[in-house]
Chains A and B, each alone.
Chain A
Amino acid sequence: MKRWRAAAVPYLLILPGGLWLVIFFAIPVIVLISLSTQQGNIVDGFSQTFHFANYASAWDNYHDQFIRSLLYGAIATILCIVLGYPVAYWIAFRGGARKSTYLFLLLLPFFVSFVLRTVSWQYFLSDNGILLSPLKSAGILPENFRILATGTAVVGGLTYNYLPFMVLPIYVALERIDPRLVEAAQDLYATRAAAFRRVVLPLSLPGLFAGVLLTFVPVAADYVNAAILGGTGNTMIGNIIQDEFLTVQDYPTGAALSFMLMAILLIGMFSYARVLGTDEVLEVAAR
């Protein structure tokens, strides 16, 4: 009896979370997949006709927005690495006793709504706002120059909003590195650059990998930044999916697009894991 109980414990532990995921993730995904091959409209109802052409027409109409989303996602992720790695490094190795204060400061923006912060960028970047107005009157920028309603503003907003998702996992990885390893490298006549390249960087790769996942996936699916900061040529796939469901009421196309986005991101993620050469990379990332 006791043994049976001991064996059951792990399953009992996974039960609440597992049920939660089955009910609120698996079932909606199944419904979504089914919806994506249906035809009809709201008034007459949608019926299952296995109309796979929904996928083809969705791709024909919206491949530009797909590619743009992946591109913006890639640029924003790289910018997050460039900006976030040094911050994580500094907090991990030079943060001293105030580490947790710095981490708290990093998370501070999350106490204000995501949408509100993005809207505040609108005011900051406005054509005649506090940033551009002085530069224009000083003659540094032409009168017609703008940042708002461009791809630059969208990528900037994405980078800003998702930066902490990059910094935190890198920090966790760096924080675990034993400083004596770096000292040992330097004792063996490695320059500081070489010690970083051969010791610190490889050891922080799992954190970097997790950071890329946590940043790229939500960034590529984001729709807030393009809606608030973008212009006519900056629509992302998230905006299209939202419009298909809410404005156009074309549920099948919206579902097909969502499912395609999910598939593209999953394939991208696994090939990325393969290229990085770690079989258990997800496990490493989770550590």
Chain B
Amino acid sequence: MTARYSRRAALQLGGLSAAALTAAACGVQGAAKQQSTAQAESAADKFWKAQKPTGTVTFANWALYIDPDHQTLKDFTAKTGIKVTYDEVIQDDSSFFAKIHPQLASGQSTGYDMMVITDGLEFSELVALGEVIPLDQSMLTNFHQNAGSAYQHRSFDPGNVYSVPWASGSTGIAWNPKYIKTPPTSINDLWNPAYAGHVGMMSDPQEIANFGLFKIGVDPENSTQKEWQAAAAALKQQRGAGIVRQYYDQSYINALSKGDVWITMAWSGDIFQQNLSAGTDLQFIVPKEGGTIWTDNMMIPKYAANPVAAMQLIDWYYQPRMAATLTEAINYITPVPAVQDIIKSDAASAKGSDKATLEAVATSPLVWLSAADYARLKNYVPITSKNQSTFYGIFQPVVAG
């Protein structure tokens, strides 16, 4: 049948767009209503009962964040018959949120069935806006069996209602030993005037706030607005003294390798990968005052067309073998503790340069944090829509210079 637009439909369409325009002129809609966890759970039960298995799944992930030849996905397809479309579309949480939020808010599917989001502002917004689907707990058998206890109890998502971890990492200090001879141990090394013009800081206010708070000796997770202001003052002093060269996004890693930056805030896995791929000898530590730990999480966006397949793929990565293959490739902290032994046995049976690489991963202090490291790793400042504008009002001017 050919769809024909009647005059009436055209009028309706015109009226609709006029209404949309008026709506946009009067305001931008937020969450229809906030749900309690119990309401969300019963809604989830109903939702999952109505779902049927499908033959495809679309997975949105960050660049270079999976085994390079996608063997884990191919194995999934071989085992389940579900075809996976894998899209490396996420550059950072904020711009990905800016892309999917308007679609979800206007009732459209994003086209993705599964995505990886860091615990932070965007994570809590997606939950508060009801733009993610609560997971079907009955399909998470591997997760409950194999995930480490810390990864089953996360303060930002109690009960794993909306997410389970993909990988974790820490934010600490990296340095280039070619230019810095005494290994840094303290957050104060980022304020050292001897390195003026060669210190890198991150441009994300959520990252930089933590380090300002460590500098003044405060735990970010329990910080107050007064302490935020003191932290921002310490960061501005660091900028004003000409110590900071630039506030970087992920490009800090190039600047550090080239020697433009000698010491910088850094993400653990980046340093490891750079050393492996570029042959550099960059070093990473968690400063004695503290560093942060973050977790990237698998979530299912609202209106996903293949939620059952997405659940299957999410749980797939909690088989120790799959988690091990993933960790060998991305070098971030895995939520599955059994992985270390598997990588060790992989290393024992490997040959040549593969063997050296696997041995490095199996023992890397960046992937297997010591108890002392864990003790120093703190959570981020919890940001919600309530304190968001205050928080950014204090820390955005630091990087805006």
A interface residue numbers (CB < 8 A to B): 27, 30-31, 34-35, 38, 40-48, 61-62, 65, 122-123, 126-129, 144, 146, 148-149, 228, 230-235, 239-240, 243, 245-251
Contacts and interface: CB of A to CB of B under 8 A. Distances in A.
A31 to B, nearest CB: 5
23 contacts: A34-B25, A35-B24, A38-B27, A38-B28, A41-B30, A41-B389, A42-B30, A44-B31, A45-B31, A46-B28, A46-B30, A123-B258, A126-B258, A148-B260, A149-B246, A232-B247, A243-B399, A246-B94, A247-B396, A248-B205, A248-B396, A249-B98, A249-B388
B259 A127 contact: yes
Contacts of A38: 27-28
B260 A42 contact: no
B401 A232 contact: yes
A195 to B, nearest CB: 49
Given A31-B25, A246-B98, A232 B258 contact: no
B259 A128 contact: yes
Contacts of B244: 231-232
A41 B98 CA distance: 13
B215 interface: no
Contacts of A243: 396, 399-400
Interface in B237-263: 239, 244-247, 251, 254, 258-260
A235 B401 CA distance: 6
A42 B246 contact: no
A128 B258 contact: yes
A64 B388 CA distance: 24
A146 to B, nearest CB: 7
Interface in B113-147: 121, 125, 128-129
Contacts of A123: 258
Contact of B400 (A46, A65, A149, A246): A65
Contacts of B401: 232-235
A40 B397 contact: no
Contact of A231 (B27, B204, B246, B385): B246
B26 interface: yes
A231 B31 CA distance: 38
B28 A251 contact: yes
A31 B205 contact: no
Contacts of B350: none
B400 A43 contact: no
Nearest to B260: A127
Nearest to A34: B25
A231 B30 contact: no
B42 interface: no
A170 B60 CA distance: 47
Given A44-B30, A230-B246, A248-B205, 17 more contacts: A43-B30, A43-B125, A46-B28, A48-B27, A122-B254, A146-B260, A149-B197, A231-B244, A232-B244, A232-B246, A232-B401, A233-B401, A243-B396, A245-B98, A247-B205, A247-B396, A249-B94
A36 to B, nearest CB: 11
Interface centre among B31, B101, B197, B384 (most CB of A within 10 A): B197
Nearest to B392: A248
A128 B260 CA distance: 7
B95 interface: yes
